[in-house]
Amino acid sequence: MSHTGADAVARILGQPTFVGQIEPGRRVLIVDDVATFGSTLANLRGWIEHQGAHVIRATTLGATFGGTKLAQPKEALAKLLNRFPEVETLARNLGFTPDCFTGRESHFLTQLPSREKMQALVAASEKVRTLLNPIGEYTHRLEQLVKDGLSLTDARKALEAKEPDLVLARDNQTAIQRRSQLLAQQQASTRDKKRGQRL
């Protein structure tokens, strides 16, 4: 994930995503080059812990001003939500809740000059939502079509006809996840064999 030269809006909309699998219970040290907004560190930690592993430390080689304070103060979140309630939609489109914005992201969003700027950011996040989580977006749209009265089969056909790019992105992400799972299983099997040979 490269944010080199990216402005604040590009950093917020370009939230990093990760694929692969980590063995539950593993202890992980995160090392990154530079913390600017902290989104890479925050998102990677969330991804690792979601898989049952534990981040014991995170470090960077450098940081910009304000880049080291990842957790946003509760008062900052309250101020952000009070000024721009639509930040809930922005966060949801990016795949998390508003309390997951880093301190620097929260500060930037609070400083937006107008509601129109926030609404433009929310509209842009709608466009990147499918790129960030195509499996989730496909499932969401499929459920909506079924809720609207289509059968599951007809809903799938409708999505394939109307949203071929989304279906392709979902298929690609599914294939990557399956490969990662198979690799993790193979690595675990190899470790178990080596342990068995040592005993």
Q: Confidence class of residue 83 from pLDDT cuts 50, 70 and 90?
A: very high
Enumerate the H helices of 53-102 as residue ranges: 74-83, 87-94
Strand partners, 58: 30
pLDDT digits (tens, 9 = 90+) for 126-178: 888 777 777 777 888 889 999 999 999 999 999 889 988 878 877 777 776 66
pTM for the full predicted model = 0.63
Structural domain includes residue 156: yes
pLDDT (0 to 100) of residue 145: 93
Q: Is 55 within 8 Å of 48 (Cβ atoms)?
A: yes
Structural domain includes residue 159: yes
Q: Which range of residues forms the domain containing residue 169? A: 133-176
pLDDT digits (tens, 9 = 90+) for 49-76: 878 899 998 888 888 877 777 778 889 9
Structural domain includes residue 158: yes
SS3 state at 134: helix
pLDDT (0 to 100) of residue 8: 82
Q: Is 103 within 8 Å of 134 (Cβ atoms)?
A: no
- Cα separation values, 185 from 27, 44, 72, 154, 199, Å: 18, 21, 37, 35, 21
Mean pLDDT of the chain: 83
Q: Is 3 within 8 Å of 10 (Cβ atoms)?
A: yes
pLDDT (0 to 100) of residue 150: 93
pLDDT digits (tens, 9 = 90+) for 31-48: 988 888 888 888 888 888
**pLDDT higher than threshold 90 for residue 192:** no
Structural domain includes residue 182: no
**pLDDT higher than threshold 70 for residue 184:** no
Structural domain includes residue 143: yes
Structural domain includes residue 163: yes
**pLDDT higher than threshold 90 for residue 87:** yes
**pLDDT higher than threshold 80 for residue 77:** yes
How many domains does the chain divide into? 1
**For the chain, percent of residues with pLDDT exceeding 90:** 27
Structural domain includes residue 187: no
Structural domain includes residue 124: no
pLDDT (0 to 100) of residue 164: 85
**pLDDT higher than threshold 70 for residue 5:** no
